[in-house]
Amino acid sequence: MKQDKRGDTLKKKIYTALCISIVLCVLSWLSDYSKLNELTGINNSGLHFNLLTVASILAGFMFTGLGLLISVSDQDIIKKLRSTSIMDKKNGKIITGLWFNIISIFLALIFILDLEKLLRVLDFQYTISPYLIDFLAVFELICLIYGLIFFALSVKDINKVLDTIKESKKSIPPEVVERLKKNILDKNEKDSV
């Protein structure tokens, strides 16, 4: 069975983010623990609401970028690129950024809804470790940072694709462009009558 390379790459990036979060938490717990609470705003639902807003906006723009790439996929130059791994890599960056933003949104919602109170309402009998709460807050921030990085990379890639399409259109002879314009204008005039 063929492995999904993109899925493996995404998993590796998520594992890396998890490891970074663990290392940051352990370092914080070994040093001045209060600094972590200040950084993550564990008891500050306003901060988590702001993080949720930023992650949602980034995810929305990335989803729009993915739609843009799909809409230009019928261009001749893009059809040629589709047979290579170039478009997969560009789409992969957007998908990876979307996943990191979705994770960040999910974790922000957990903090906004106050996980401990929610679990008490559900009659959950165990207490949640403050270390787990710290870890989730740090992981939320790390995912948002990853999402921001992949957002920037995807904007750069989308710009390259659009520039490539623009360059390929410049190679069309001017007389062909004028004939197409005339056909479009004639068709619009007939439709309006």
Q: What is the pLDDT of residues 54-86, one digit of tens each?
A: 999 999 999 888 888 777 776 666 666 666 667
Residue 190's alpha-carbon distances to 52, 77, 177, 178, in angstroms, are 50, 32, 20, 18
Cα–Cα nearest to 47, from 99, 118, 107, 117: 107
**pLDDT score recorded for residue 5:** 64
CA–CA separation, 38 and 74 (whole Å): 50
Give the phi and the psi of residue 120 in degrees, each rounded to 5.
-65, -40
- In the structure, what pLDDT confidence band is assigned to residue 48 with cuts at 50, 70 and 90? confident
Q: Say yes or no to pLDDT of 1 above 60.
A: no
- Write the burial class of residue 192 (CB in 10 Å: 0-12 exposed, 13-18 middle, 19+ buried): exposed
CA atoms within 13 A on the CB side of 59: 17
**pLDDT score recorded for residue 152:** 94
Q: Say yes or no to pLDDT of 131 above 60.
A: yes
How many residues does the structure list for the chain?
193
Q: How many CB atoms lie within 10 A of CB 84?
A: 9
Q: Say yes or no to pLDDT of 188 above 50.
A: yes
Whether pTM > 0.85 for this model: the answer is no
Mean pLDDT of 9-33: 87
Please state the three-class secondary structure of 97-118 as a single string. HHHHHHHHHHHHHHHHCCHHHH
Q: What is the CA radius of gyration of the chain?
A: 24
